[in-house]
Chain A
Amino acid sequence: MNKNEITAEVRSFITEKLFRGGIPSDFTNDTPLISSRLLDSIVVLGLVSHLEEKFSVEFEAHEVTVDNLDTINVISNFISQKLAK
């Protein structure tokens, strides 16, 4: 799976959880999700499980942090790196 496909998958999961009335135009792949608290802990919990299942990766406890999950781009980079290992 290439980087764009990963980004598209992550984006579709997050926007579906966040916005019912369509994706706002000011929401980008660099919008902070966790540090801004846009994603609450329950959604983050679901997000990590979804990523693990979708990309067949496993998060270590120390990897479930804002540094790896804060924006769509950050998440996609992190997944790409894990897949490349």
Chain B
Amino acid sequence: MPINPEWPAERIKFVFKQVNLNGCIIENKYLGKATEVLTELKTTYQEFAINEDYTFIKTNTTPITYPKNLAYVLFTSGSTGFPKGIVHCADGMNGFLNWCKKEFAKYKVNRFVSIAPLNFDLSVFDLFYPLITKKSLYLPEQSTISNTRLFSQYLIKNKIEAIYTTPSYLKLLIETGQLNKYNFSFVKLVLVAGEQLSYELARELKKYFKKTVFYNLYGPTETNVCTYHKIDLSKMRSKDIVVPIGKPCYAGSVKQNKNSELLYKGKLLMKAVIDENGIHVLKAGSLFNTGDKVKKLSTGCFEFVGRGDNMVKRNGFRIEMSEIKNTLLSFGGILNCEMIAIDNPKVEIMAFIESEEELSELNLRTFLLSKLPSYMLPDGILVMKKFPMNLNHKVDLQKLKENFI
């Protein structure tokens, strides 16, 4: 179970507690933060130095019982206001990796790079696919990933042949990575996931990655990748705007319900969920509603259209807006709070706060950062004395939205 040490201590504490963590490997610079959390949880522990940078912490707790053959747990934003742990077992993970082998082995990639944070499910492919296929995996420092110019040079220097990342990162790479300075003809495969991919971005990428095969991969953390689409720019029509999410990729089926939401059934589905009440094991053969609205194309492929609820995706991370809202409401002095997301052209989240007090946006941000991971912070926070009301005496969201800019 990867834990991002940059998360607020409170979130780390919640996660430790929910799984009764009995051991963890940690970078020494975060050791103080971890032991503080364990002390607060009244957990006794022992430290074992692994090398000069890392320590193994062993606690005396007994972990909660998981389904058999547990592979990994990823915590993501939860709609109830608490993070939610997604539990995957070995058969699902192996199924996914075997499908990858079947689909990607033909490109004969020898050098992979991992740039996604470990708590983001792209890392499951990054870490395990090169391992099972006996290929090399390159792990650049965060400072290299954070500077697209350095990352371009890193690709060149190490002749990286496959990259798996989000459209947001690829867009940044194009804008600031000085790609035109280099020749990337050695890059064989680019896998894109986590957000909607536009044909415009795909075409732009093709200018620099001329010999590269592009795939659009889709799936919520609950299924990891469950549909895929190999991008063929020569076949695209001028009216095509969004790259489809494609067809099911492994022993499983997808279909639409009457609300146009995509449903998944199959081996790739998580086996259990951990929430504030404990672990809930799913029934075998469960049908999973992704909550993602899709459109079925004449080619049989699905295209992502949007969502009907309060979950948004920004920079590949999913964010339950109600989790931000509930956190804001706990600040004190806030009468009401509304979250609005726009997608024009990039996803932005705005928090509107009704309060009679003079609240400082800086204080509100600092407060949110003490409770939530940075990726969940709203793009804007607007404090107003009174919310506009519509004729039905409800908060006029349309009017609030007009205040967005």
Q: Which residues of A contact B (CB under 8 A)?
A: 18-22, 24-27, 31, 36-38, 40-42, 44-46, 48-49, 52-53, 58-59, 61-62, 64-65
Determine if A42 and B369 form an interchain contact, defined as CB atoms under 8 angstroms apart. no
A22 to B366, CA, bound (A): 16
* Other 19 A-B pairs with CB < 8 A, given A42-B315, A46-B176, A48-B147: A20-B379, A20-B380, A24-B362, A24-B363, A31-B362, A36-B369, A37-B6, A37-B369, A38-B369, A42-B168, A45-B147, A45-B148, A45-B172, A45-B176, A49-B147, A53-B176, A59-B147, A61-B143, A65-B143
Question: Across the interface, which residues of A come within 8 angstroms of B230, CB to CB?
Answer: none
Tell me which residues from 115 to 170 in chain B have a Cβ below 8 Å from any Cβ of chain A.
141-144, 146-150, 168
Q: Which residues of B contact A21 (CB under 8 A)?
A: 361, 380-383
| Cα-based distance from A77 to B284 in the complex (angstroms) | 60
Q: Which of B180-207 contact A (CB under 8 A)?
A: none
Interface residues of B (CB under 8 A from A): 6, 141-144, 146-150, 168, 172, 175-176, 315, 350, 360-363, 365-366, 369, 374-375, 377, 379-383
B350 touches A49 (CB 8 A): no
Which chain B residues lie closer than 8 Å to A22 at the CB level? 361
B361-A24 in contact (CB<8A): yes
Which A residues touch B168, using CB under 8 A? Answer: 42
Residues of B within 8 A of A65 (CB): 143
User: With A19-B361, A24-B361, A27-B362 given, is the CB distance from A41 to B146 under 8 Å?
Assistant: yes
The secondary structure that dominates the B interface is helix
> Top 10 nearest A-B pairs by Cβ distance?
A20-B380, A49-B176, A40-B374, A64-B143, A24-B362, A21-B382, A24-B361, A24-B360, A37-B374, A37-B369
A-B contacts, 18 of them at CB < 8 A, read A18-B365, A19-B380, A20-B379, A21-B380, A24-B361, A24-B362, A26-B363, A31-B362, A36-B366, A36-B369, A38-B366, A40-B375, A41-B142, A41-B146, A45-B146, A48-B147, A49-B176, A64-B150
Q: Which residue of A lies closest to B348 (CB)?
A: A20
Residues on the A chain within 8 Å of B361, using CB: 19, 21-22, 24
Q: What is the distance, in angstroms, from B340's C-beta to the closest C-beta of chain A?
A: 12
Max count, chain A CB within 10 A of own CB: residue among B142, B147, B168, B375: B147
Question: Closest chain A residue to B141 by CB distance?
Answer: A61
CA distance A25 to B321 in the complex (A): 27
Taking the closest CB of chain A, its distance from the CB of B47, in whole angstroms, is 25
Contacts of A44 in B (CB 8 A): 146
CA distance A31 to B369 in the complex (A): 15
A34 to chain B minimum Cβ distance, whole angstroms, is 10
Nearest-neighbour CB distance to chain B for A32, whole angstroms, equals 10
Q: How far is the CB of B359 from chain A (nearest CB, A)?
A: 9
Tell me which residues across on chain A come within 8 A of B363, comparing CB atoms: 24, 26
